[in-house]
Amino acid sequence: MTIASVLVVVIQLVFAVAVTPVLIGVMRTTRARLEGRVGGGIGQPWRDLRKLLSKEPTRAPGSTLVLTLAPILLVASSLLLCALIPLASTLALASVPGDLFVVVSVLLVGTVALALLGLESGSAFGGMGSSRHMVIAALVEPTVLLSIYALSVPAGTSALAAIVQARRADPASLLNPVSLLAIFALVVVVIAETGRLPVDNPSTHLELTMIHEAMILESGGRDLGWLELGSWLRLTALLGLVANLALPWGIGQDAAPLTLLMGIGAITVKVLVLGAVLAAAEVFIAKLRLFRVPELLAGSFVLAFLSVSASYLVF
């Protein structure tokens, strides 16, 4: 059991690192094709990453250890997410179960590392990005907790693996209002946390609109490589979570090699399809004005709240 769950963790980590550049490649290519461009190809993010990691970073006078540590912490936090979230299998480590609150706080460690890096640069852009990023993170927090809370009521536990398992055992619960409302709220959360449209535009460098890019503006070379990898991994982990909550089929439930293989195949397909759908949807959406974003988040909070209330009536 223990060895099997350690194996699952290792497999999920390898999966995440291997699939993430492909996922980003697929998303960028989808978007490029729909916009009538050729795009860099599916392998381009991987080549970018290799190039960035082997380039020297720069250091301005007066900068501290945060400059080096924050990018690595972001990657570590995202990898830890991939280890804790049930991606390929619902086998969880006995001493560190993928507890909802632990997962959220690990996510927040990455958020904070990024925000501190933005301030560390000492430029106006970094601070601006950091400030906006933290406001969005703060406003998203209630939705995250309430939506997963709603999903945890039927399962009677806050461990994500157990929730996924319970949903798989009872497919009828996937289509009830509690589940639909909560999943919809969760999608908004994922979009906000990973900085996708309409909350943030990942490919913009326009001063007034950028959030994520503003924080990493002063980073270059190896630092930038880690930062890109960290944010991409975060997207993989969260998309994987939503995919497994919405469509829990195919995920492995024991340590048999065949089910594990099937679990890996299922999550790869799910994440890539979901990514392509997200990218396709982004083509048709414009970025929201920054001060309209709280309205979007308040809306998703209301959905999550309704979902919790409904869960008391349904179950």
Partner 1 sequence: MTVLAAATNLVDAGLLAQLLLGALAVVAAVVTRGRLRNLLAGALIVAAGIAAAVTGSAALLGEVGTGLQIPVAIPLAEPLDPLLLAPDQLGGLFMALAGVVVALAALFGIGYAHGPAASRTGWTAFAVFAVGMQLVPAAADAVTFLLAWELMAGGSTVLLLADHATREPVRRATVWYAVMTHLSFLLLLAGFGVLIAAAGGTSWATMTGASVAGPAATLAFVLLVAGFATKAGLVPVHVWLPRAHPEAPSHMSAAMSAAMVKMGIYGILLLTLRLLPGGPRWWSIVLVAIGAGSALYGILQASVQADLKKLLAYSTTENIGLITTAIGVGLLLRSSGQNAVADVALVAALLLAVSHAAFKSVLFLGAGSVLHATGERDLDLLGGLAARMPWTSVTFGIGALGAAALPVTSGFVAEWALLQSLIHVDARADRLLAIVIPITMGIVALTVGLGLLTFVKAYGIGFLARPRTPAAAEAHEAGPAMRAAMVLGAVLVVGLGLVPGPLSQALARAVSAGGVSTTGGAGLLLGAVDVVLNPIALTLLTLAILVPLVVVNAVLARRHPRRDVDLAWGCGGERTSPRMEYNATSYSEPLVRVFRSSLQATQLVDVVRHDAAPLLVEQMTFTQETGDVIEDRLYLPATRWAGRLGDLARTIQNGSIHRYVGFSFAALVLVLVLVAL
Residues 144-203 contacting partner 1, CB under 8 A: 144-146, 149, 152-153, 157-159
Please report whether residue 299 would count as binding partner 1 according to CB under 8 A.
no
Q: Which is nearer to partner 1, 37 or 292 (CB)?
A: 292
Identify which range of 33-41, 95-103, 191-199, 279-287 contacts partner 1 by CB under 8 A.
95-103
For 119, the enclosing helix (H) or strand (E) is helix 100-120
Q: Give CA–CA dist 13/32, Å, rounded.
A: 29
Structure tokens belonging to residue 200: 């943030």
Please report whether residue 62 would count as binding partner 1 according to CB under 8 A.
yes
Please report whether residue 231 would count as binding partner 1 according to CB under 8 A.
no
CB of 151 to partner 1, least distance (A): 11
Q: Give CA–CA dist 307/126, Å, rounded.
A: 37
Three-state secondary-structure class, residue 252: strand
For residues 260, 145, 237, 98, the Cα torsion angle rounded to the nearest 10 degrees is -40
| CA-based nearest residue to 173, from 246, 90, 87 | 246
Q: Which is nearer to partner 1, 44 or 141 (CB)?
A: 141
Q: Please state at what angle helix 177-193 crosses helix 221-246, rounded to 10 degrees.
A: 180
8 to 37, contacts with partner 1 by CB under 8 A? 9, 13
- Amino acid in the structure at residue 24: I
Identify which range of 32-40, 51-59, 234-242, 244-252 contacts partner 1 by CB under 8 A.
51-59
Number of residues that bind partner 1 (CB under 8 A): 85
CB of 41 to partner 1, least distance (A): 25
Q: Which is nearer to partner 1, 58 or 203 (CB)?
A: 58
CB 271 within 8 A of CB 110: no
CB of 282 to partner 1, least distance (A): 23
Identify which range of 32-40, 60-68, 246-254, 279-287 contacts partner 1 by CB under 8 A.
60-68
Between the alpha carbon of residue 57 and those of residues 54, 211, 216, 221, 287, the distances in Å are 9, 22, 12, 5, 31
Q: Which residue has the tokens 């939503």?
A: 242
Q: Which is nearer to partner 1, 146 or 266 (CB)?
A: 146
> Quick one: which of 222, 255, 281, 296 contacts partner 1 (CB under 8 A)?
222
> Quick one: which of 32, 34, 135, 281 contacts partner 1 (CB under 8 A)?
135
Q: Which is nearer to partner 1, 30 or 219 (CB)?
A: 219
Q: Which residue has the tokens 């998703």?
A: 300
